[in-house]
Structure 1
Amino acid sequence: MRAVVQDVYGPPEVLRVEESERPVPGPGEVLLKVHAAGVDQGVWHLMTGRPHLLRALGFGLRAPKTRTPGQDAAGRVTAVGPGVSALRPGDEVYGTCSGAFAEYARARADRLAPRPARLTAEQAAAVPVSACTALQALRDRGRLAPGQSVLVLGAAGGVGSYAVQLAKALGAGRVTGTCRPAKADLVRFLGADEVLDHT
């Protein structure tokens, strides 16, 4: 299979496409035929190895521990490992996996969900990390209660755009978003009651 790989940290030029062995799903895992993969700020950090603390946190001190980048994916289940009963070959799913920038990727079955029919694979692949980060920040860490006000910094970015929408869906009384002037209309469209120019 073809896969994007990197053997050193650095700019996008360290990435290249090469033939790799197709992964085999282990216990609790599935094999995905990747239809689309998402790119977020985390992928950039893992590609460049910056901030350097990431390397010490188990991602590889001198070189990336995982050669094929990418975490967000949407695709079709092609095989299931031992102990997987909730998913079957042929299921269209999205979620997080290891090595999404390849034709096939291994994923834990409990990190995937059925892809809603109204979402394309490309749209679904943009959801997992950014949307879950926003949801955890608002619901789990921030304990947002109906009627409360929310300030979203970087409301036009990946996490911020989900935070604006989720804050409204969770009943926030007033959502204020910050962004640059060129993105103000987008942030209003997403549901912000007020938009501030962060420049």
Structure 2
Amino acid sequence: MRAIVQDRYGPPHTLSLGEVPTPTPGAGDVLIRVHAAGVDYGVWHVMTGLPLVGRLGFGLRRPRNRVPGMDVAGVVESVGADVTAFRPGDEVYGSATGAYAQFALARPGRLARKPANLSFTEAAAVPVSGVTALRAVGRVTAGQKVLVIGAGGGVGSFATQLAVAGGAHVTAVCSTAKVDLVRSLGAQGVIDYTREPLTGTYDLIVDIASVRPLPLLRGLLTERGRLVIVGGEGGGRWFGGLGRLLAVRLITPFTRQRLDTLLALVRTADLDVLRDLIEAGTVRPAVGRTYPLAETPNAVGDLAAGNAPGKLVITVD
């Protein structure tokens, strides 16, 4: 089968289109014929092998999984003997191993029925970003003030919509190129961080892939406000943004503010919640650009550059 393969860590050009054997599902696996796959920062971390401490999980000298990609949408091709939740022909979305290929394996607990009102391309934009946003926003109440930093990306576009749907007053932070997108998602206020500082006081701040100092963010929170830091970007080669996440854990016992870090895993229950919201028209995936499988290196490069609005998606079949 055709797939994107990587045999060493490095920049996007270490990804290339090649031929690999079609995976064989084990007893508890689902084999998916991939129609589309999303691009997220997890792919970038595995591609670069950064931060270096991450190689304890990615693979010490080279990527443990030659085929990258997690977000997936497609059709069930076959299932293992122990799988009862899905059958061949089901349209699904979720998280898989090696999604940048014609076929990929997934565990049933990380898949769900695809939203009926989405194309495969749109559905592939949902799993990792949507679940992360769902966990980050949590339960908001009408009238709360929410600040979403990084609102123009995959996670941020979902977080903005979820907070708006909860009745919150949402201020979205993004670059100039993404202002129109975040306004279309329902944000009542927009801060273009290239032109103006962060101001105001908020009950909830969702900080996505940001490197802003913790004292600055805490200064924008109410006395009992909640700060959620999503992802571990920035920092040095060895530990990246993990030092910032550790600082949050150390500060938490000494403040009334609630400081959280989040690295969400895709689960069926969360995918079901998102599907219901999507089918009800409450939220929608903001697909920024699509790329054919052969142009996956360009997609990951564009993600790292931060210039493309919304979620980037690879179209496979």
CA distance in 1, matches of 2:96, 2:72: 7
Aligned-residue offset at 1:61: 1.5
Residue aligning to 1:78: 77
Give the Å deviation of 1:18. Answer: 2.0
- Closer, same or farther in 2 for the Cα pair 1:184/1:20, shift >3 Å? same
Q: Which contiguous aligned blocks of 4+ residues in structure 1 show a shift greater than 4 angstroms?
A: none
Please, which of 149, 152, 156 is the counterpart of residue 156 of structure 1?
A: 152
Query: Aligned-pair distance for 1:168?
Result: 1.4
SS in 1 for 2:18: strand
How far 1:146 moved relative to its partner? 3.8
1:11 maps to which residue?
Answer: 11
Q: How does 1:30-45 map to 2 (within 5 A)?
A: 30-45=30-45
Aligned to 2:169: 174
Indicate the residue corresponding to 1:98 in structure 2: 97
Task: Work out the percentage of aligned pairs sharing the same amino acid.
Answer: 60
The answer on whether the counterparts of 1:149 and 1:172 sit within 8 Å (CA) in structure 2 is: no
1:50-89 equivalence runs, <5 A: 50-56=50-56, 58-89=57-88
The SS at the match of 1:116 is: coil
> Whose RCO is larger (CA < 8 A, sep 6+)?
2
Q: 1:147 deviation in Å?
A: 3.1
**What is the TM-score normalised by the length of structure 2?**
0.59
* Cα RMSD for the two superposed structures: 1.3
Partner of 2:290: none
Q: Secondary structure at the match of 1:45?
A: helix
61-70 or 12-21: bigger deviation: 12-21
Distance apart, 1:184 and its partner CA: 1.4
CA distance in 2, matches of 1:6, 1:113: 28
Distance in 1 (CA, whole Å) between partners of 2:105 and 2:177 is: 39
| Kept in 1: contact 2:35–2:120 (CA 8 A) | yes
Structure 1 position 150, deviation (Å): 1.0
* 1:30–1:107 contact (8 Å) kept in structure 2: yes
Give the number of equivalent residue pairs: 194
Partner amino acid, structure 2, of 1:176 = T
Residue 84 of structure 1 aligns to a residue in which SS?
Answer: coil
For residues 27-74 of structure 1, the C-alpha deviation after alignment (integer angstroms, 9 at most, x for no partner) is 322100001111112111111111222213x11121111110000011
Is the 1:152–1:163 contact (alpha carbons within 8 Å) kept by the matching residues of 2?
yes
Structure 2: distance between partners of 1:75 and 1:87? 13
